[in-house]
Structure 1
Amino acid sequence: MSEDKDLQEKEMQGREASDGNTKEDEYEKVCFLCRRPESKTGPMITLPQNIHICTECMQKSFDTMNNGNMNYGDLMSHMPNISMMDLSSIPNQVSEKQRVKKKKKTEEKKQEFTMKDVPPPHKIKAKLDEYVIGQEHAKKVVSVGVYNHYKRVLSSEQKSGEVEIAKSNMLMIGPTGSGKTYLVQTLAKLLDVPLAITDATSLTEAGYIGDDIESVVSKLLAAADNDVERAEHGIIFIDEIDKIAKKKNTNQRDVSGEAVQQGMLKLLEGSDVEVPVGANSKNAMVPLATVNTSNILFICGGAFPDLTEIIKERLNKKSSIGFQADLKDKYDNDKNLLDKVTVEDLRAFGMVPEFLGRLPIIFTLQGLDEDMLVKILKEPRNAILKQYEKLLEMDEVKLEFEENALRAIAKKALEKDTGARALRAILEEYMLDIMYEIPKDDSIGEVIITEEYIEHIGGPKILLRGQEPLLLQ
C-alpha cells in the first residue's frame, strides 16, 4: 500500500512539473540585465534560479572583467569588500503581468483572424444604435472606419496584389457629454479586438514627469494580454486630445502640448516602438517589447471648447457692409456649427499641421437637444430609467415616469450644459428620497414620477397594493 502511494505521489509531481513547463513555454525568456525578450536578443544562457542572460550582456560582462592589465585575482584583491555573487539570493523580478507571450505561428493566427469574423458596417452600426442615441453620421463613420481597418490588416498580411491600403486614423470632435467616449467604449464591447482607452492630459515629452508617449501602446499591449501579434491588430482611443494643443503666449518649453504632438507622429504613421511590459515608464527592471504600430488604428477625440469661436471668426470675415451683409451674430445660435470645421480652424486652435495630416478622417458629433435627451433617458439598452426600474423591482415596486416629467428633466439637463452627464446627476437628486422611503413600507406597489415633483410644486404618485394612487406631498 505504501509503495502505491509513493507511485501516485510521484505521478502527481510529474504532472505538476509538466503543467509548469507548458505554462513556461507560453512566455518568452527575458534577459536579467537588459530586460529584452528572447525574440529580440536570440538564444539566452540559463543560470540557476531561472535567471536568463543574453549573449550580448554576457559578452559585455566578460569584456569588462578583461579590460586592463589586472587578472581576476588582482581585481578582487583591490576590492576587499566584494565577494562572489550568490545567484541563489537573486530573485526573479519579472512579475506575471510583465511577461511577454511568445508569438504564435502564422498558420494559427490566420485561422483565428479571418474576414468571416469581421462584421460589416451596417451590423456594427445596428449594435451601436442599441446603446447610443442619435449621432447617425458619427456611428456610420466609425463603423466604416473599423471595418476598413480589419480589411487593411488582412490584405497586408495576405500581400495580395500591388495596391497597399493606407491607414485612416480618425479625429472625433464634439461637445462635452455628446457621447464620444461612450461610443468607443460600446465599440469595445462589440468587437473581439484589443482596444485601449487612454487620456492625453497625462502625456508629456520624454524625460519629464508624466506618462511617456509610448505608454498608450503599452496599455494596448496590456489589453492584449502581452500578446504582441494581437496588439498590432488593435485600436487605441486617445481622449481629451484637445488638451495637447499648442500653448499660446508662453515662453516656457511646451512639454505637454506641441512636444506631445510631435512625439505622436511616428505612432500615428506606423513604426517599431519599444514599450515597457506591465508598466508605464521604462526602467532597468521592466522588460521591453517591440510593437509595430502600422496596423493599429488610432481614434482621437476631444471637445475643443473654443473651436466654435474660431469658426465664427472665420465665417464672419465673409460679411461685408451693405444691405446684403451677414450679421455678426448670425452663427451664435447655430447648434451644428462644429459641422463647418476645417483643418485651418484646428490649426488656429493649436494643433500641429503634421499631426492633423495623420488624421485624415475628421467628423463631428452633434450637441444634444431636448428630444435626444428624452430618448437617452428611456431608449438605450442600459438606459438610466431602466436601471432605476431594476433597482425598485428588487423591492417589488414598479417605477414609472410621466412623459412631461421626462421633458422637465431634459430641460434641466440642458441648463447645466454638460450633455448627457447631467441626466444622472438630476435623477440622483430626485430619486434620493424615493429610494430612502420605499423600503420602509411594504404596502407600496408602484411609484409614478410626475412633472409637479420635478418642478418642486408637488410630489410623486404612490400606488398602494390593490388601492387607488395617492399623491405624496
Structure 2
Amino acid sequence: MSIEGLTPKQIVEKLDAYIIGQEKAKKAVAVALRNRIRRIHLSDDIRDEVAPKNILMIGPTGVGKTEIARRLAKLVNAPFIKVEATKYTEVGYVGRDVESMVRDLMAVGFNNVKKEVEDSMREACAPKVEEKLLDLLLPGSDEKAKKSKDEEKPEESTAVAVPNTDNSTREKFRTMLREGKLEEREVEVTVKRQNNMPSMEIIAGGSMDDLQSGMMEIQNMLSGRNHKKKTVSIREARKILTEEVLDSMIDADKVADKAKERVEQSGIIFIDEIDKIATKNANSSGQVSREGVQRDILPIVEGSKVNTKFGVVDTTHILFIAAGAFSLAAPSDLIPELQGRFPLRVELESLSKEDFKRILTEPKNALTKQYSALLSTEGVNIVFTENSIDRMSELAEELNSRSENIGARRLHTIMEKVLEEISFDADEHAGETINVDSTYVDSKLTGVVQDQDLSRYIL
C-alpha cells in the first residue's frame, strides 16, 4: 500500500509491529503524518499556510519516544535525525551550533536520494564496470582492439581474415569474468578518496568540527593525496568500480534538488532531552545559557532558511518532535514562544509487567527473537518458556520501581545477564537445545536482585 493510502489507523497498526503500548503517542504521530499527506492535495494558495503540528512527548526514558519517531520516518521513507538538546548547552556552544541539525538532516536526505538513484542505475552501469575490469586484467587491450578495428578497410573484405589476438584474449577473459572464474584474481585499482572537494559548509555557518574537516580536505586536494592505489580481488574491485561509475553517472545537482524538496516537505527532526534546557528563572549563568539555546532553536522550529552545502533549506514544513522526561522541570518551564511551537502534547506511560512480557515476545524485533537468532548461528537452539518470560518481566518492573526507571532498556541488562554464560560457551553447546525457564533465570539473577546495592551496578 502506498503512503498516501495509509489511514491513521493503518499507521498505528504498522507502529504496533515494533512498539508496545503508548497508544496516545502513536495516534498523535499518525494524525501528524496523515495531515502531511492531506496537505499535498491542497491548492497552492493554502498549502504553504498549513504548517506541521509539532509534537512534544513527555515520559521517562526507555518507553518508546525515540522509537516511535524513528519508525514513523522509516515508514514514509522520510529524512530523519535525532539530536540531543543538551549538546548545545555547553559554554560558548562548544560542539555544533543549533543550525547543524538542519544541515545534518539535509545530508541524510541527500544520501537517501543518492542511494535510490544508484540502485535504479546499478544494472545500467554493469557493462561499463565490466570493461573497466577487463582493462585492469589486460592493460592496453581495449586501446589495441579499437585501433585494430579502425585500421580495417572495407575494400579488403575479400582478403583472408586474420584473428585479432588482443581482441580474442579480451573476449576469453570477458567470458571467464562472467562465469565467475576470476573473482579471486588480484588487480591494482586507483581509489578516489571520499569527499575530495572541500565542503562549502565551512562558509555556510559550520562549526569548528566542520572547519577542521574542510581544511583537511583542502590540504589533501592541494597535496595530491586524493587518490591511492590498492591491490584487491576482482570481487572487491567490482564494488569499488561500481561506486566510481555510479558517481560519474549521477547528477549531483539533481540529487540535491530532490533531497532538498524531500527534506523541506517530509523531513523529521527528533529533539531529545528538551527538558534539560528548560528553566524556571534566569538567576544563574547556566539557566541563562539554557534559555539562550531555546531562543536559538525557536526560529528553526518556527521556520527559517538555513545554509547547507547542498543549498538553502527552508524549515517551515519540517516536522519537529521533541521529547523529555520532565522529572525536574515541566513543559511550562520552556519559554512561551517555544511551547507554542509544540501544540500537540502526549504523555507516555511507564511500562508495566504486562508491557514487558509483550515487548519480549510480540514485536518483529523482540529481544527473545534476537537472542535466539544470534545463538542459532552457532547451532544453539534457545527456547524461552512462558514462566521465564513472566519472571524476567517481573524483575524488570521491580528494578525499575526501586531504582532508576530506564524503561524497556532494563530488559537488555537482564537478558544479557541471564544468557551471559550460554553466549560465552556457545561453541561447546553446538547442536543442543537449551530451555530457559524461571528457575534458570532465578539462578542467574536472584542473588544480584536481592542485593540492592549490587543490583544498582549490575542491573
Residues 253 and 455 from structure 1, CA distance in 2 versus in 1: closer, same or farther, beyond 3 angstroms? closer
1:232 maps to what in 2?
A: 264
Taking the aligned partners of 1:182 and 1:163, their CA distance within structure 2 comes to: 29
Other structure's SS at 2:443 match: coil
Other structure's SS at 2:20 match: coil
**What is the deviation of 1:397?**
2.9
Other structure's SS at 1:419 match: coil
Any conservation in 2 of the 1:237–1:299 contact (CA below 8 Å)? yes
Choose the corresponding residue for 1:176, options 52, 58, 61: 61
Q: Deviations over 1:182-234 (max 9, x none)?
A: 11122222112211221111124996423211111111111111532222121
1:38 maps to what in 2?
A: none
**What is the deviation of 1:377?**
0.7
Choose the corresponding residue for 2:303, options 266, 270, 281: 270
Could you tell me the percent identity over the aligned residues?
39
Amino acid at match of 1:231: V
1:15 maps to what in 2?
A: none
Taking the aligned partners of 1:454 and 1:161, their CA distance within structure 2 comes to: 60
Other structure's SS at 1:224 match: helix
Amino acid at match of 2:336: P
Any conservation in 2 of the 1:172–1:300 contact (CA below 8 Å)? yes
**What is the deviation of 1:290?**
1.6
Residues 405 and 138 from structure 1, CA distance in 2 versus in 1: closer, same or farther, beyond 3 angstroms? same
Taking the aligned partners of 1:254 and 1:260, their CA distance within structure 2 comes to: 10
Any conservation in 2 of the 1:205–1:260 contact (CA below 8 Å)? no
Any conservation in 2 of the 1:168–1:297 contact (CA below 8 Å)? yes
Question: Are 2:267 and 1:245 aligned?
Answer: no
Amino acid at match of 1:214: E
Question: Are 2:327 and 1:305 aligned?
Answer: yes
Alignment of 1:87-102 (within 5 A): none
**What is the deviation of 1:134?**
0.9
Choose the corresponding residue for 1:143, options 30, 43, 64: 30
2:432 maps to what in 1?
A: 445
Greater helix share, structure number: 2
**What is the deviation of 1:351?**
0.9
Question: Are 2:450 and 1:418 aligned?
Answer: no
Question: Are 2:335 and 1:352 aligned?
Answer: yes
Residues 167 and 250 from structure 1, CA distance in 2 versus in 1: closer, same or farther, beyond 3 angstroms? same
**What is the deviation of 1:391?**
1.8
**What is the deviation of 1:437?**
2.6
Choose the corresponding residue for 1:200, options 75, 81, 85: 85
Taking the aligned partners of 2:440 and 2:350, their CA distance within structure 1 comes to: 27
Any conservation in 2 of the 1:138–1:365 contact (CA below 8 Å)? yes
Q: Deviations over 1:336-357 (max 9, x none)?
A: xxxxxxxxx522xx21111101
Q: TM-score, normalised by structure 2?
A: 0.59
Structure whose CA Rg is larger? 1
Higher relative contact order (CA 8 A, sep 6+): 2
Other structure's SS at 2:419 match: helix
Question: Are 2:105 and 1:122 aligned?
Answer: no
Any conservation in 1 of the 2:418–2:445 contact (CA below 8 Å)? no
Other structure's SS at 1:389 match: helix
Choose the corresponding residue for 1:377, options 354, 357, 360: 360
Residues 368 and 208 from structure 1, CA distance in 2 versus in 1: closer, same or farther, beyond 3 angstroms? closer
Question: Are 2:280 and 1:295 aligned?
Answer: no
- Residue segments in structure 2 that go unaligned for 5+ positions in a row: 111-255, 447-459
Any conservation in 2 of the 1:244–1:260 contact (CA below 8 Å)? yes
**What is the deviation of 1:250?**
3.9
Any conservation in 1 of the 2:380–2:429 contact (CA below 8 Å)? no
Aligned residues between the structures: 292
**What is the deviation of 1:257?**
1.0
**What is the deviation of 1:380?**
0.4
- Residue segments in structure 1 that go unaligned for 5+ positions in a row: 1-114, 278-287, 308-344, 460-473
Amino acid at match of 2:390: R
Question: Are 2:382 and 1:399 aligned?
Answer: yes
2:421 maps to what in 1?
A: 433
